[in-house]
Amino acid sequence: MIWNESKECMPREDIIALQGARLKKQVDRVYHNVEYYRKKMQEVGLEPGDIQSIEDVEKLPFTTNEDLAKAYPLGLLAVPRSEIVRIHATSGTTGKPKIGAYTRRDIDIWSEGVARCLAMSGVTRDDIVIVSYGYGLFTGGLGAHYGAEKIGAMVIPVSTGNTTKLINMLIDFGATAIACTPSYLLHIAETLEKENLMDKVKLKCCICGAEPWTEEMRTQIEKRLNIKAFDIYGLTEMMGPGVASDCEYHAGLHVWEDHFLPEIIDPATGKHVPEGESGELVMTTLTKEGLPLIRYRTRDLTSLKYEKCECGRTMARIQRFKGRTDDMLITKGVNVFPTQVEAALLTIDGTTPHYMMIVDRVDNQDTLEVQLEVEERFFSDEIRGLEELAGKVRGALKTAIGLNAKVKLVEPDTLEHSQGKSKHVIDKRKLYE
Amino acid sequence: MFVKQLSIFLENRAGRLDDALKILKDNGINIISLSLADTSDFGLLRLLVSDPEKAKQVLKERRFSAQLADILAIRIPHTPGSLSGVLGSVTAAGINIEYMYTLSVGGGDANLALKTSDQERTAEIFKEQGIHTYSQEEFS
């Protein structure tokens, strides 16, 4: 089902015209309302009048994570503070979380975006939707919730953390759709199988996101639960989930181009790559009022397809993600940078030890193991002392990244130490192949 | 009063124990006693050796985590209840035993290595009770 046909199926030339008009207006707004953007534009000799259509977008400077950190928390606000009705935040990369600040209209547009994605997955007002993304600062829970309510579905806000309760709700209310991370959904499937409850489940589809997943996981989810599985993409900096999602043809993630302008650049030169080629995804919010972002570098590597999809939608499709331009990894739905792990290890005794993060997916559950070399200063001739060290590291990691990591003590010189910037991550999940 | 114990951190990987022991052999270091404590992930090898300083040095050169610690090594009669009696007086003084293992030295008597929460006081207790406490020289 198509939620908003007049937008989702707009002819390409109309999309381009609409994007041009909205970009022009957005640039004008940020120039006059946000000192940070004004200065950045003035530094390269730009004035709002220089931006007339999307052809001109390449003239605009990029906005990077460093910009967001500098402007933290509300330095990029483009409306008076009193217009903001809600704040969301990422789990906090290298200390400074990324902020989403929403006006009432931003929340409406966000809900519209999610509603389009849910409708694309087949959700209607007759559906019963379990939202099992975390509710709170994380955009997943409330984002999916508002979208499902906008459609008029009955929402059960189960949130995360209690699989037994979720399964009770799933069965007792006869839920027909579920929104959660794909790895969690596989965990739910496993529990249902173990307890022989699968025939009591009435699910017909799932809307999964917040972490990269493989085609193999989709097949497993669809087969084991006998449902259709859909991928939803988003990022807090843009608004949250619902920036893009895939349709029944699974031919890429339709991005809501009337609200976001996607570009693909060569991360090294910053120049556009020829259409269809891979590069870094850059996005501009075209309608966001609270915290608009101009040419935000997502660090995600992918390509864009512009031709009309078999489903009838004309909105560009983000193709399979091929990796990241930085060393961020997503495990258990949480964004983790090696620098965060390093900072956590630094709290143990004030120096950076040699360590390696090993990310894997065992039985479709992400696992994170941190290996730490037992150098002389950590050494104890008592087992208890060594176990205390491992416990301390576990605690510091839990505080820093909010995840339970397995800590393994290893002998000195067993981890790879490269010259200069050493490689600290081994990702065995093969997500981008 | 104390003897130097050499501890070596070993990952639970095939051949690591052997690697460590070979290094000692190649450097002419004699192992007087050996004990291995292990968890699911790692092991801790505790040794009394003929030349602890040199042993630590050569192991470190080969990038093993090794450390020296002062422990008590004692000789007690090989009779029922003698160990219990000795430990009883230690625990009666409110001292905890961190770890303990038997030593493969001495003739007909029983020999033990131990580390306690208060080594000085433990040594005094042994002295008061006339228990022989080995010195490093006796092993070198």
What is the tens place of the pLDDT at every residue in A307-361? Answer: 999 999 999 999 988 888 887 788 877 778 777 788 788 888 766 678 888 989 8
CA distance A145 to A84: 19
Distances (CA, A) of B52 to A163, A383, B47, B105: 55, 20, 9, 17
The number of domains in chain B is 2
- Does B63 share its domain with B76? no
Same domain? B47 vs B89: no
Q: Looking at the structure, tell me whether residues B12 and B65 fall in a common domain.
A: yes
- Which of B25, B53, B69 is the C-terminal boundary of a domain? B69
Q: Which residues of B touch A378 (CB under 8 A)?
A: 65
Which one, of A168, A154, A170, A172, lies nearest residue A118 by Cα?
A154
Give the pLDDT of residue B55: 95
pLDDT value at position A420?
43
Answer for the pair A301, A279: CB distance below 8 angstroms, yes or no. Answer: yes
pTM of the model: 0.72
Pair (B32, B55) in one structural domain: yes
The pLDDT value recorded for residue A419 is 45
User: What are the residues whose beta carbons fall under 8 Å from the beta carbon of A175, sequence distance 6 or more?
Assistant: A128, A129, A130, A156, A169, A202, A203
- Entry field: residues in chain A: 433
Distance CA B25, CA A159 (A): 60
Are both B86 and B107 inside the same structural domain? Answer: yes
Q: What is the pLDDT of residue A411?
A: 87
Co-location of B22 and B62 in the same domain: yes
What domains can you pick out in chain A, each with its CATH number? 5-326 (3.40.50.12780), 331-427 (3.30.300.30)
Q: Are strands A304-305 and A334-336 parallel, antiparallel or unpaired?
A: unpaired
Residue A191 structure tokens? 């529990």
Do residue A374 and residue B41 have CB atoms under 8 angstroms apart? no
Chain A environment of B7 (Cβ under 8 Å)? 379, 381
Pair (B7, B31) in one structural domain: yes
Size of interface A-B (CB pairs under 8 A): 55
B57 in the same domain as B23: yes
Domain hosting residue B97, numbered range: 71-138
On whether both B61 and B85 belong to a single domain, the answer is no
User: Is residue B40 located within the same domain as residue B79?
Assistant: no
CATH code of the domain containing B92: 3.30.2130.10
Task: Say how far apart CA A372 and CA A391 lie, in whole Å.
Answer: 12
Distance CA A193, CA A160 (A): 20
Nearest residue to B126 (alpha-carbon basis) of B80, B93, B100, B78: B93
> CB-based contact (8 Å) between A375 and chain B?
yes
Element containing residue A298 per DSSP (H, E): strand A296-302
**8-state DSSP, A241:** E
- Please give the residue of chain B at the shortest CA–CA distance from A407: B41
B79 and B22 assigned to the same domain: no
Final residue belonging to a domain, choices B69, B103, B127:
B69
Question: Last residue of a domain, which of B51, B69, B87?
Answer: B69
Regions in chain A scoring below 70 on pLDDT: 92-95, 350-352, 417-422, 432-433
What whole-number distance in Å separates Cα of residue A70 and Cα of residue A73?
8
The mean of the pLDDT values for chain B is 91
**Which residues neighbour A259 within 8 Å (Cβ) at sequence distance 6 or greater?**
A109, A113, A285, A286, A287, A288
